[in-house]
Amino acid sequence: MKKIIPDEELITIGRMQKDPFIMAMEEKIAWKKDLGHNILRHLFSKQLPLIYHKNGQMIAEYQDGTIQFI
């Protein structure tokens, strides 16, 4: 069976430098903070909104600051 995703991409994409199970508490706090920023940058680079739940309402937030209730 032919692989859909080449091994090179599996190795270089989505790898963490350190396992969260062995991180110190300070490292985990910094990792979680950076994770949010990285997700936001990734979504906006692909022209996608950040979608989240707030007060029982679904919200789409775009890079230009536009907020849309969905």
Q: With 0-12 CB in 10 A as exposed, 13-18 as middle and 19+ as buried, what is 18?
A: exposed
The pLDDT assigned to 39 comes to 85
Residue 68 pLDDT > 60, yes or no?
yes
User: In this predicted model, what pLDDT tens digit does every residue of 40-49 receive, in sequence order?
Assistant: 888 888 888 9
CB proximity list for 8: less than 8 A, separation 6 or greater:
none
The pLDDT assigned to 62 comes to 92
User: In this predicted model, what pLDDT tens digit does every residue of 3-40 receive, in sequence order?
Assistant: 676 666 555 556 677 777 888 899 889 888 888 888 88
